[in-house]
Amino acid sequence: MPKSPNFPARLAMAVLILCLFGAVPLPVSAGEETQPQKKTFGPLEKSLLLPGWGQLSEKRLIEGIFFLAAEAACLYEIVANNHLGNENYARYKAAGTMDDAVSFRRLTEKYDKRRNQALLAGAAVWAANLLDIYLIVKNKKRKDARFELKISRGEHFLFGLDASCRF
60-113 per-position pLDDT tens digit: 888 889 889 999 999 999 999 999 999 999 999 999 999 999 999 999 999 999
Name the nearest CA neighbour of 88 among 102, 105, 71, 112: 105
Residue 6 lies in a domain: no
Give yes or no for residue 134 having a pLDDT over 70: yes
Residue 167 lies in a domain: no
pLDDT of residue 41: 74
Residue 48 lies in a domain: yes
pLDDT of residue 146: 56
21-31 per-position pLDDT tens digit: 554 454 555 55
Residue 106 lies in a domain: yes
User: What's the CA angle centered on 58, arms 140 and 64, to 5 degrees?
Assistant: 125
Residue 73 lies in a domain: yes
Residue 35 lies in a domain: no
Residue 87 lies in a domain: yes
pLDDT of residue 26: 47
Total-model pTM: 0.59
Residue 99 lies in a domain: yes
**CA–CA separation, 119 vs 21, rounded Å?**
42
Domain count along the chain: 1
44-77 exposure pattern, b = at least 16 Cβ within 10 A, e = fewer: eebbeeebbbbbbebebeebbebbbebbeebeeb
